[in-house]
A = this chain, B = another copy of it.
Amino acid sequence: MQHQKLATIEDVAAIAGVSIATVSRAINEPTKVADETRRRVTEAIAQTGYTTNAMARSLRMRRSNMILILAPDVGDPNFSNILVGLETEASKRGYGVLIGNTQNDPAREADYLRFISSNQADGLILFTGHLPYGYGNDAGESRLPPMVAVNEPVSNSDVPFVGVDNFEGSRIAAEHLISQGHRRIAFIGRSTSKAVNILREKGYRAALEGHGIAIDPRLILDGDGTTESGRAATEHMFVRDVLPTAFLCVNDVTALGVIIALTARRYELPRQFSVMGFDDITFASFVSPSLTTMKQPRLKIGEEAMDLLLALLQGKSVERKQVLLRSELIVRNSVGQVGR
């Protein structure tokens, strides 16, 4: 009862009085069939409610028109908005998107590659920042499908990346703090491994140096981008009693931790301390004080990334290995003039 025998191309052909080849052509290359024939086929299709069986088509054409999205955490605040962009563009071009939530588990990553190796997906969008595990194993043939990275570039590889110009964005953020009179600006979220963190720190340094402000290494603290890391780093500064007037955080989530720590110590923001984030995730406007930050054009990132991937799939060679979009300064209430 589930399948009531769908109409096939043969049914359509019979009704239209043509061969199946002609039906196929009428659908896929309309100009190649005579007007009158095309009309009859179209009518037969409407009459039967025919839809091309995607499986048969994929089998024959060796391509599924599906894109696999590999993300370490579907709940990540950056993820969902980029996903919308990816999905919109894919849908517009007749592609579907498949979600793989890997939780950074190598086993799950490897498992998801079955979609690639079994021809169920033609290309890959990587949120993970690294090539998926499970390539080049047993059989030795590391058959990499076309792929594009978003959110985080893939370290030492030439996988094209679409994202925000982290260096420039962070520089602008720091400039903003400087324009408000800040000189002692902390950077929270240093990392030696994550490319995003490294670039944002560089932007911070560039801005300070550009204004002749000496970099105080004691104001640069490690962090892995979590709320807890922001909180801990802030506490650490109070313990060591080396304090800035402003905190530039590697991302909004970290900034939230900083705000929590400062609020817990009963400081008034932004009168006593300024805090800046990066990303403009949803809650940035809800937290109190609402967060001044750099907005990532996430929708656009998703669309551009999908566009690039589909171009790759069509065999176009990609000139640009990186597409860097501009982030936008969003001024809210967490940054104030230094000394009132």
Contacts and interface: CB of A to CB of B under 8 A. Distances in A.
Contact of A286 (B75, B87, B138, B256): B256
Contact of A96 (B74, B98, B138): B98
Number of copies: 2
A98 B101 contact: no
A56 interface: yes
A155 interface: no
A297 B4 CA distance: 38
Interface in A35-54: 46-49, 51-54
Nearest to A111: B91
Given A80-B80, A96-B98, A114 B287 contact: no
A48 B138 CA distance: 9
A272 interface: no
Nearest to A64: B55
A150 to B, nearest CB: 15
Interface string A101-123: 10000001001001101111000
Contact of A55 (B55, B111, B260): B55
Nearest to A7: B139
A72 to B, nearest CB: 12
A139 B49 contact: yes
Contact of A59 (B6, B56, B315): B56
Interface string A275-290: 0000000110011100
A49 to B, nearest CB: 2
Interface residues of A, number: 61
A321 interface: no
Contacts of A32: none
B64 A74 contact: no
Contacts of A47: 139
A179 interface: no
Contacts of A118: 51-55
A79 interface: yes
A97 interface: yes
Contact of A80 (B75, B88, B98, B100): B75
A236 interface: no
A100 B140 CA distance: 35
A100 to B, nearest CB: 8
A118 B65 CA distance: 13
B74 A87 contact: yes
A141 B80 contact: no
A3 interface: yes
A187 B280 CA distance: 31
A75 B84 contact: yes
Nearest to A139: B49
Nearest to A56: B59
A294 interface: no
A234 interface: no
A19 interface: no
A97 B96 contact: no
A266 interface: no
Contacts of A227: 286
A230 to B, nearest CB: 12
